[in-house]
Amino acid sequence: MKSFLSHLLTGIIGALLVVFILFGIDQLSTIYPLYVPNIFYKSKVDYIVNIESAVSEAIEKTAGDVVQVNNYLGNTLRGSGSGVIYKLTNDKAYIVTNNHVVEGASKVEIETTSGYRVFGEIKGTDPMTDLAVIEIEKGTIDHCMSFADSHSLKVGEHVIAIGNPLGLSGSATLGILSSKERLVAVDTNKDEEVDWYASVLQTDAAINPGNSGGALINLDGKLIGINSMKIAESDVEGIGFSIPSNLVDRIILDLETNGEVKRPEKLLGIGFRNVIYENYIAIKINEVIDGSLADKSGLLTDDLIIEINGDRIKYYFDLKYYLSTSKVNEKISLTIVREDELIVKEIIITE
């Protein structure tokens, strides 16, 4: 009897051991399908993305929407960049590029990858965001690029830069999105003073001279940004910047219709300095100009601005950035500390 029970116990332990081993192999086959066989032959969901195929398809879908932009002064070619066809009408095509690509041009020429060449009209420019819009005759152009939502991007996802570096038409480079909201100082009038801080996408996809104005796309072949700046110091590699598509979409509408971006007053009409309040940066008002927007909105000297549109101030240039990116007639909310009392001021931005 004891021998029977001993054999039974041994058998049970052996069976349990086999079950645990098979379970372990099954789990490993799910995690490492290339190295561990699926012994149960169960159907598996393939989570492996064929990056090569996705990249090729995205480039094929969009490369024709990226054009070369030639900057002429008189009959002299001064330089070239890239642009993106983003809108078609019955007889016109619209192209977005960088302001610095067309800056100083007496005329601009557009050349597509199919060889179609035509001179265009600069509809509007915006040095602050480094964007410009060009209108051309539609000709043989029959496709334009779709926009993606740049707010929904994830750091680490694959991105592709398409442009004309060194005049090499339709060049594409692959990288990842390194940062979604990288703040970069911008000096628009070259007076060595910071005019504003651009919130841009950062990528390690190679962006070289001539890529400016070209497209940064996702693997769906949709525009997520317009390539603009490149840090080209000898000890820096793989840092390229792109203007987010959501901002591009907003700016080009103004450039098309008004030729410029209508912005609110550069400042509210206050003098201020930055102080620390409860371990955060705050803006302390030390002057309110009579008759200014701040004065009409009820802001007072010694008020502390701690939030803008519900967001806590994190950087000393937050107020200027919010004003620069606000639209005329847009409402902004300022949370103010006044004599230890929290006050919210709703301010309508005026032109």
How is residue 162 written in tokens? 């398409």
| Residue 132 sits in the same domain as residue 156 | no
| Residue 96 sits in the same domain as residue 133 | yes
Q: 77 and 87 in contact (C-beta within 8 Å)? A: no
| Residue 274 sits in the same domain as residue 312 | yes
| Residue 131 sits in the same domain as residue 65 | yes
Residue 258 lies in a domain: no
Residue 264 lies in a domain: no
Contacts of 310 (CB under 8 A, 6+ apart): 333, 335
In the set 130, 254, 303, 318, the catalytic residue is 130
- Domain-ending residue, one of 216, 249, 282: 249
pLDDT of residue 233: 45
The answer for 167, left when phi > 0, alpha when psi is -120 to 50, beta otherwise, is: left
pLDDT of residue 322: 76
- Cα–chain center distance at 258: 24
The number of folded domains in the chain is 4
Range of the domain at 309: 270-348
- pLDDT > 90: what percent of the chain? 45
The answer for 27, left when phi > 0, alpha when psi is -120 to 50, beta otherwise, is: alpha
| Residue 128 sits in the same domain as residue 178 | no
Three-state secondary-structure class, residue 99: helix
- Cα–chain center distance at 140: 30
| Residue 154 sits in the same domain as residue 244 | yes
pLDDT of residue 331: 86
| Residue 38 sits in the same domain as residue 70 | no
133, β-bridge pairs = 96, 124
Residue 128 lies in a domain: yes
**Cβ–Cβ contacts within 10 Å for residue 77, how many?**
11
- Cα separation, 103 vs 290, whole angstroms: 38
Question: Is 43 one of the catalytic residues?
Answer: no
- pLDDT > 70: what percent of the chain? 78
In the set 80, 150, 169, 212, the catalytic residue is 212
- Strand segments, DSSP code E, in the chain are 66-73, 76-88, 92-97, 107-111, 117-126, 131-137, 158-163, 171-186, 196-203, 215-217, 223-230, 240-244, 270-277, 280-288, 304-308, 311-312, 331-338, 341-348
| Residue 27 sits in the same domain as residue 79 | no
Residue 255 lies in a domain: no
| Residue 82 sits in the same domain as residue 154 | no
Domain with residue 204: its CATH number is 2.40.10.10
- Domain-ending residue, one of 188, 219, 249: 249
- Cα separation, 318 vs 278, whole angstroms: 17
Question: Is 130 one of the catalytic residues?
Answer: yes
Q: What is the DSSP letter of 210?
A: T
| Residue 285 sits in the same domain as residue 237 | no
In the set 65, 80, 100, 171, the catalytic residue is 100
pLDDT of residue 278: 85
37 pLDDT more than 70 = no
- Cα separation, 150 vs 224, whole angstroms: 5
Residue 262 lies in a domain: no
How is residue 130 written in tokens? 């480094």
Q: Across residues 31-59, what is the average pLDDT?
A: 62
**243-254: per-residue pLDDT in tens?**
999 999 989 999
pLDDT of residue 234: 43
The one-letter code for the residue type at 123 is K
| Residue 344 sits in the same domain as residue 296 | yes
Question: Is 100 one of the catalytic residues?
Answer: yes
pLDDT band, very low/low/confident/very high, at 36 (cuts 50, 70, 90): very low
Domain with residue 318: its CATH number is 2.30.42.10
- Cα separation, 169 vs 98, whole angstroms: 17
53 vs 19, 58, 214, CA distance in Å? 40, 9, 22
Q: 314 and 281 in contact (C-beta within 8 Å)? A: yes
| Residue 66 sits in the same domain as residue 128 | yes
